[in-house]
Amino acid sequence: MSSEQTCSRLDFAFARFLGGRSALSGAQREALEALAAHLSAQQASGHSCIRVDRGAKDLLRASGLLSDSATAPLVLERDRLYTQRYWHYEQQLATQIKRLCALHFEAGDSTALIDRYFPVSGDRPDWQKLAAEKALTQAFCIITGGPGTGKTTTVVKILGLLQALAERPLHIALAAPTGKAAMRLQESIGASKPGLPCAEQIKDHIPEKVTTIHHLLGAQPPSPYFRHDAASPLPFDLLVIDEASMIDLALMSKLLDALKPGARLILLGDKDQLASVESGAVLADLTASLPDHTVELRKSHRFQGEIKALAEAVNRQQGERAWELLRQESSSTALLAGDLVTFIAAQYRRYLQLIAEGADFKRVLAEFSRFQALCSNRNGPRSVSDINHRVEQRLAEQGDIQPHGRWYVGRPVMVSENNAAMQLYNGDIGLCLADAESGQLRVYFLRPDGGVKTVLPGRLPRCETVYAMTIHKSQGSEFDQVLLVLAEQLNPVLTKELLYTGITRARSLVRVMASKSVFIEAVEQKVMRDSGLTAKLMLADEPAC
């Protein structure tokens, strides 16, 4: 595919900037600029680097844009080309992970204690118990697994074990990439703690409050820097991060940079889900390159039946089998029959009725969260923008909503940028309702601690209507029912990871709207991101060249 088809104006501007500062001219400069534009475009698509051949290496060495200086714009490492910034993030993260992996702890004679927390079961092997055994002795541990495999239950038991074995109570922090994911983790921990086989004093030292990673690190917008870094590390002895597949290369590097010396890190996540929106596929790279520090939980305790079978078929790239499961239309998996907009509008009828009846916010939010339309694409036919516009129009025609301008009672919105000052973050869902006393429109948000935050619409950070959202944005969420809406034509976004992520958002029912050809082609398409992180972790030292 030509660069004209894949590169943006920003990519070309970056390329011209580098070309103008190179030692090349004529055809060589044009070739360098084409390479630089391709690098910029690939980084925007999630790759941290690109592969280059011998001819490109010779061109780069002649350009004068490579050097040992940290100010050099480009870095060539073996056959991988980076911008300086992404090479630094990757190099720094690899160094930090290696340092953590080298740190071990003594667990003493903890066999009886572990057996109390993980009683003998019929599972062979007991993956949850194995994860606990690793977490007691390793400073760095990854616990991965699909929905319902008990990642949160396992980590709560691990926290109890660590507190029971510690000479003094450990200072623990819990975090997730988004507010939604933080709320889910907080709810799960609160539900799991009472059942721990330990004294109340130990339970009291297991925190329930979960925050976003940006809030934990102390975001300082509009700067890309955080209050906590290597010079001002976090005060915690142990950090637990959920939904780690959503964390991009830059944020993971900054998170590891902020760990205090001797601290432990436990990552939770599903390695088969979508990688981060920004550059990198960090969790997948880490699980692939660090098997001794990774445990995959393989038994699902609540995710069974047709939804599990569909997710597994998609994950194994068995397109025909996955389509047949949908075509059979069971009680939990089906193809959508009928008009798309009519169906989606009908799902929100009860939600809008509750608002009209004056139901309290949490009850209204619970009904809204029962169903969610998830789209593969943001723009184009059958996209988020298309469906949100058409559903809003249909609800207005039916008299279910009375929009007078942008804001109206019942408008659901998703925050699309982080605002640390307001404690609102990208992905937070709010509902526009009338204040019971004044009648004034306000947007209501459920906070991770169970409280409710209200904001005047005019004070909100950038946000968008969310009768439908992208599958990317749904990560960290669960709904009783989901409708997956795929684009009419295959495109690079449609991958088996995207479908798997969308399917596993549903608790009880998945419907899909797609043609057979597009669905099967999407199952056969896998996310492939160029990265040097695995190589850096597996090699003792890999110098730039």
pLDDT, tens digit, 9 for 90 and up, residues 433-486 = 999 889 899 999 998 777 899 999 999 999 999 999 999 999 888 899 999 999
318: left (phi over 0), alpha (psi -120 to 50) or beta: beta
Q: Sort strands 468-470 and 371-375 into parallel, antiparallel or unpaired.
A: parallel
Cα separation, 337 vs 311, in Å, equals 21
448: left (phi over 0), alpha (psi -120 to 50) or beta: alpha
User: Tokens 């959508």 correspond to what residue?
Assistant: 336
Q: Sort strands 452-455 and 441-446 into parallel, antiparallel or unpaired.
A: antiparallel
| DSSP one-letter string for 73-116 | SEEEETTEEEEHHHHHHHHHHHHHHHHHHT-B----S-HHHHHH
- Residue 394 token pair: 């249909």
Task: Specify whether the CB–CB gap between 251 and 89 falls below 8 A.
Answer: no
Cα separation, 83 vs 88, in Å, equals 9
Q: Is 278 exposed, middle or buried (0-12, 13-18, 19+ CB in 10 A)?
A: middle
Q: Is 240 exposed, middle or buried (0-12, 13-18, 19+ CB in 10 A)?
A: buried
User: Tokens 């989901």 correspond to what residue?
Assistant: 482
Q: Is 300 exposed, middle or buried (0-12, 13-18, 19+ CB in 10 A)?
A: middle
Cα separation, 299 vs 149, in Å, equals 5
pLDDT, tens digit, 9 for 90 and up, residues 168-216 = 999 999 999 988 888 889 888 988 999 999 999 999 999 989 988 998 9
Cα separation, 117 vs 110, in Å, equals 11
The mean predicted confidence, pLDDT, of the chain is 91
Task: Specify whether the CB–CB gap between 42 and 81 falls below 8 A.
Answer: no
Would you state the pLDDT for residue 42? 93
What backbone torsions phi and psi does residue 467 show, to the nearest 5 degrees? -65, -25
Percent of the chain surpassing pLDDT 90: 77
What backbone torsions phi and psi does residue 495 show, to the nearest 5 degrees? -135, 170
Cα separation, 494 vs 442, in Å, equals 36
pLDDT beyond 60 at 542:
no
Cα separation, 324 vs 395, in Å, equals 34
Angle at 93 between CA 91 and CA 96, to 5 degrees: 110
Long-range contacts of 225-232 (CB under 8 A, 24+ apart): 226/254, 226/258, 228/258, 229/254, 229/257, 229/258, 230/257, 230/258, 232/258
Q: Sort strands 140-145 and 294-297 into parallel, antiparallel or unpaired.
A: parallel
Q: Does this model's pTM top 0.85?
A: yes
pLDDT, tens digit, 9 for 90 and up, residues 271-327 = 999 888 788 889 999 999 999 999 999 887 666 789 999 999 999 999 999 999 999
Question: Which parts are annotated binding residues for ATP?
Answer: 145-152
- Give the number of other CB atoms < 10 A from CB of residue 23: 11
pLDDT beyond 70 at 2:
no
Give Cα 55 distance to the centre of its chain.
37
pLDDT beyond 70 at 113:
yes
Question: Which parts are annotated binding residues?
Answer: 145-152
What backbone torsions phi and psi does residue 292 show, to the nearest 5 degrees? -70, -15
pLDDT beyond 50 at 507:
yes
Cα separation, 57 vs 132, in Å, equals 46
Give Cα 195 distance to the centre of its chain.
29
pLDDT, tens digit, 9 for 90 and up, residues 313-347 = 999 999 999 999 999 988 899 999 889 999 999 99
